Amino acid sequence: MASNQKVASWQGQMRASVRSVDDLARVLSLTQEELDGARRAEREGLPLAITPYYLSLCDPRDPHCPVRMQCVPRFDESVEVPGDLVDPLGEIAHEVAPHLVRRYPDRVLLLATDRCAVYCRFCTRSRMVGDGGGPISLANLELALSWISRRPEIREVIVSGGDPLAMATPRLERLVAAIRAIPSIETIRLATRVPVTLPMRITRELTRALCKYHPIWVMTHFNHPKELTPESIAACERLVDAGFPVMNQSVLLRGVNDDADVLEALFRGLIRARVRPYYLLQADPVRGTGHLRTSLAKGISIMEKLQGRISGIALPKLICDTPGGRGKVPLSPAWVVSESSGETVLRTFRGEHVSYIDPPD
């Protein structure tokens, strides 16, 4: 496997990705649990793929490294716990056309590819990503695009997969142009983790090709301050400078970022890179990810510690995407102490109780 320093292009990084136990063991000192997990990933389930760049962020000796825990398989992935689901967000049940999911009145999710630069071990779509199909041709997306065009109430398309920015630029541009040609579509969102796992993908060629179709918002997924490298920060800045608002959705992961100090450092770093922390997501109950998930109470406790400690622009919403695809629910500490006729007692982040008096009707 080529080192990170020797692979400059994003295409070269993809070609040099680690995809086997032998290649992984040459770079990392693997535990038995990781060896067993990687062997299992070669045979079944979510495959193994890590770019040289992202692998270079892993501590080669520490199995508890927060980057390593996100990308190196563990044998725990073979264990199912109560509540685990193959399709936790009910996307199969909410499919309205091939590769098209509708869970909300005004927006749809277009699954344009099954490929990613790195296969994150907590992936919501582990049922389908990396199955070998690759990007979906525009011809095979025609039914989905036609469905959207016949429904003017649809105002927004979220392009995901897989990772749409792992597609070649001309293919991605043709898809974005086809979406933008639908008169009712106001906003396009690209859901991607390549600023984190493959930052050299954010090239001027890419931003020049896509900026013609603004407004396009980029939704990315930084989960730990260790991922905020000079390369990834520069990738985000290239997007912002080209007119792409960048929002971040962190996934709350046990042993990775389930700590207020870690998340504070992450959110402050994102703001410095002009990336808005948007959501802190309760990890979806994907089959085989119980070892990476936290309780709902853990996330609420962390948000309570962060309230008032960091600026509001750095504080995301804590969100649980409800099982079965019933929609996102915001979670919050209990700041309302009591309510009576015309008066509400609120608890501040300092623990003070303050009365708010409603105006008369």
Q: Which of 58, 65, 71, 123 is catalytic?
A: 123
Residue 104 designated active-site: yes
Residue 309 designated active-site: no
Which runs of E-coded beta strand occur in the chain?
Answer: 95-97, 100-101, 107-111, 156-160, 187-191, 216-220, 246-252, 276-282, 317-321, 328-331, 336-340, 343-347, 353-357
Rounded Cα distance, 109 and 160, in Å: 7
The shares of helix, strand and coil residues in the chain, as percent rounded to the nearest 5, are 35, 20, 45
- Quote the Cα angle for 232-20-129, to 5°: 65
Residue 353 identity: H
Residue 241 designated active-site: no
Residue 123 designated active-site: yes
**CA dihedral of residues 207, 210, 213, 215 (deg, nearest 10):** -50
Cα–Cα nearest to 254, from 302, 305, 317, 307: 302
Residue 39 designated active-site: no
Rounded Cα distance, 268 and 276, in Å: 10
CB-CB contact of 187 with 156 (8 Å): yes
Q: Which of 103, 115, 201, 238 is catalytic?
A: 103
87: left (phi over 0), alpha (psi -120 to 50) or beta: beta
Q: Any idea how long the chain is?
A: 361
What does DSSP assign to residue 357? E
Residue 305 designated active-site: no
Taking the CB of residue 293, how many other CB atoms lie within 10 A of it?
Answer: 22
Taking the CB of residue 137, how many other CB atoms lie within 10 A of it?
Answer: 12
- The secondary element (H helix, E strand) that includes residue 266 is helix 260-272
Residue 65 designated active-site: no
Residue 116 designated active-site: yes
Residue 54 designated active-site: no
Q: Which of 116, 163, 279, 293 is catalytic?
A: 116
Question: Which ranges in 45-89 belong to alpha helices (H)?
Answer: 52-55, 68-71
Q: Which of 125, 201, 226, 293 is catalytic?
A: 125
Residue 268 designated active-site: no
Q: Which of 107, 174, 180, 305 is catalytic?
A: 107
Burial of 209 (0-12, 13-18, 19+ CB in 10 A): middle
Among all residues, which ones are annotated catalytic?
A: 103-104, 107, 116, 120, 123, 125, 284, 321, 328
